Structure 1
Amino acid sequence: MSSIPKETSETFGMATVTKGLSNTSYHANPALGSSSIKTLATRTPAHYLYESHNQTHSTTFDIGTAAHSLILENDTSKFEVIDAPNWLSKAAKEARQAAYAEGLVPLLTKEFEAVKAMRSSVMTHPLARNAFIGHEPEVSIFWEHETGTRLKCRPDALHVGGKRGNLIVDLKTTVSAAPDDFASSAARYGYHLQQAHYTAGVKAAYGEDFTFLFVTVEKEPPYLPNVHQIHSTDVARGAELVERGIRVYNECTKTGVWPGYLIGKPLELPRWSFYKEEELLER
């Protein structure tokens, strides 16, 4: 169990690096993070506006949150283990809500054992293990874009110099850590955009380019880990999406208009429907 770290901040040019900042305080800061930028760039301003005023908690993220605490910091102080087979009983539901009220992540005993197995698997993988030794966990970086927009990022693990050089590591729990499957997840969830945003923030603070690694670990036995790097071409496209998201934010802030879907050109039905219907017509 880890003690609560003391919050410290340093300023580097237009960037501020804060260590020991709570997750709650980080998310309460109004600067734009990668998730907000992704929504602005790939969905609509209306989605961003709604989400920024309606923060909700999803229990689907509890396992990932606990895995981060255990793998990044070997810290069990942020979650509560509930001795129950599932969340169906009244007692389990009440214990779960009590944990949330205390700012803790509730886990069933079997979920806690799974998270421990995930950590063990990561820490026995030679590349993944090195990513989480001698790192600074969850450093919060705040900086200013050239347009004046305030931005933020919070890398899972940061190595500045040392044996591993300048390195940013992002931990993902996933269904499959296989390269092709993670590539699909990266495209679906905009991990290339996240990497571009984090890399820009770290460079704003430290003035240097950092290598970026994704460490993945599967959520089911045998909890296989893997280490990935996204191709530079995709990261460059992610950087363009970051700029688009910031542009959209600034325009909407200026006009006070946060539109939803725009009227586009006439729809073209997907190719699969064409082939299916052609086959029917030929019969």
Structure 2
Amino acid sequence: MTSIAEAGVYDIDADTYHADPVPGGSLSSSGARKLLPPSCPAKFAYEREHGGERRSEFDIGTAAHKLVLGVGPKLERIDAKDWRTKKAQDKRDEAYEHGAVPLLTAEYEQVHAMADVLHRDDLARVLLDPDHGRPEQAIFWQDTETEVWRRALIDWLPTGGYGPPTIVDYKTTTSADLGAIRSSVLRYGYHQQAAWYLDAVDSVGYPDDTAFKFIFQEKTPPYLVTVVELDQPALRVGWLRNRRAIEIYRDCTAAGIWPGHATDIEVISLPPWAERAEEYA
């Protein structure tokens, strides 16, 4: 098994990265978000020990990443309309066992159409120029304030070109409308991810003006693409939340205790509108 004890950029597969090859453990962006509300350290510890639940709804995103970035698991086309038959289910399970992503006929055509649209998008094509970047690069580094080992798996790491370097993260979504994206950023902690990845590239010597951009693409025709960049206040909030998560990870690791949502009996209130509704009923 791969073991990483030195900071730097590594070209390793996603399975090795997610297995955490740092002796003693390291913290990822998704792990940092799992430590904070609405999650908690106990959920982080459980998932680290038992692994995350496989969810088939993520397969479209995984497959689209493979076609857009050019790296990732094998895509296996299952010639069926749905997963209701035992034959289709057996083929699906066999694909999972071999580390492949099983896709129904319509899904297979869908992700190829998504990739075709994205590769024709002027902004996305420039950001993912294979002459000036590498897909899925892992960065490992030690946090200077806490000595916690951190890691990041970056969709697209720039290696040259004109102007400031730009890190890219590709996400599939139900809506690439700006309002929907803004909600997703807050809901899924993408501002934390952006701040985390900027810390990662800073640790390996990227300049201060390095940018981070998200490419969002809808999963339904016409597979619209929107490119966004978070402003400094958003990145600041993400950075502050990351600092809190790193400190929680350090303290929980040292104590060997990973608390749940609350460690004592808490008193809670109903929202103000509930009381007003009863008063005026």
TM-score > 0.5 by shorter chain: yes
Aligned length: 268
Instruction: Select 2:44's aligned residue among 44, 48, 62.
Output: 48
Which runs of structure 1 show a deviation greater than 4 angstroms over 4 or more consecutive aligned residues? none
**AA of the residue aligned to 2:19:** A
- Structure 1 CA distance for aligned equivalents of residues 9 and 89 of structure 2: 39
Which runs of 5 or more structure 1 residues have no equivalent in the other structure?
Answer: 1-6
Q: Which residue of 1 aligns with 2:108?
A: 112
Further displaced range: 184-193 or 52-61: 52-61
SS at match of 1:163: coil
CA drift of 1:271 comes to: 3.8
1:159 and 2:155 matched: no
Instruction: Report matched runs for 1:192-207 at 5 Å.
Output: 192-207=191-206
Deviation at 1:128, TM superposition (A): 1.6
Match of 2:202, SS?
A: helix
Aligned to 2:30: 35
In the alignment, is the contact (CA less than 8 A) between 1:41 and 1:242 conserved in 2? Answer: no
Q: Which residue of 2 aligns with 1:232?
A: 232
Tell whether 2:65 aligns with 1:72.
Answer: no
Maintained 8 Å contact 2:73/2:99? no
Letter in 2 for 1:18: Y
Deviations 1:131-167 (A, max 9, x none): 2222210001100011211110011111133135311
Aligned partner (choices 81, 92, 97) of residue 85 of structure 1:
81
User: Alpha carbons of 1:250 and 1:119: their partners in 2 closer, same or farther (altered >3 Å)?
Assistant: same
Aligned-residue offset at 1:188: 0.3
**Is the contact between residue 84 and residue 108 of structure 1 (CA under 8 Å) also seen in structure 2?**
yes
The 2-side partners of 1:272 and 1:239 are apart by 33
Q: Which secondary structure state, in structure 1, belongs to the residue aligned with residue 213 of structure 2? A: strand
Shift of 1:278: 3.6
Q: Write the distance in 1 (CA, Å) between the matches of 2:63 and 2:149.
A: 29
Aligned residues of 2:65 and 2:72 also touching (Cα < 8 A): no
Cα gap change, 1:102 to 1:194, in 2 (>3 Å): same
Within the alignment, does 1:138 sit opposite 2:136 as a pair?
yes
Q: Check if 1:100 corresponds to 2:96.
A: yes
Q: Percent identity over the alignment?
A: 38
Determine the C-alpha separation between the residues in 2 that align with 1:170 and 1:239.
17
Cα drift, residue 129 of structure 1? 1.9
CA contact (8 A) 2:14 2:72 kept: no
TM-score, normalised relative to structure 2: 0.90
Separation in 1 of the partners of 2:230 and 2:136? 21
Partner of residue 220, structure 2: 220
**Higher mean displacement: 199-208 or 157-166:** 157-166
Q: Matched residues in 2 for 1:97 and 1:64: separation?
A: 18
The one-character-per-residue Cα deviations of 1:28-68 (angstroms, maximum 9, x if unpaired) are 11321101111113321111111111212111111000000
The Cα offsets for residues 93-117 of structure 1, whole Å up to 9 and x where unpaired, read as: 0000110111101011100111111
Residue type at the aligned position of 2:178: P
1:217 touches 1:226 (CA, 8 Å); kept in 2?
Answer: yes
3-state SS of 2:8 partner: strand
In the TM superposition, what is the alpha-carbon distance from 1:207 to its structure 2 partner?
A: 3.9
TM-score by length of 1: 0.89
Q: Is the 8 A contact 1:16 1:205 kept in 2?
A: yes
Which string of whole-angstrom CA distances, capped at 9 and with x for unpartnered residues, describes residues 182-235 of structure 1? 000010000000111111011101242320000000011111110011121011
Q: Give the Cα–Cα distance (whole angstroms) in 1 for the partners of residues 140 and 30 of structure 2.
A: 15
Counterpart secondary structure, 2:36: helix
CA 1:249–1:90 in 2, change beyond 3 Å: closer, same or farther? Answer: same
After superposition, give the CA deviation of every residue in 1:74-132 in whole Å (9 maximum; x if it has no partner): x6861101000001110100000110111101011100111111112212221122122
Q: Distance in 2 between matches of 1:221 and 1:72?
A: 20
Deviation at 1:269, TM superposition (A): 1.7
- Over 3 Å counting, the alpha-carbon distance change for 1:230 and 1:264 in structure 2 is farther
Runs (5+) with no aligned partner, structure 2: none
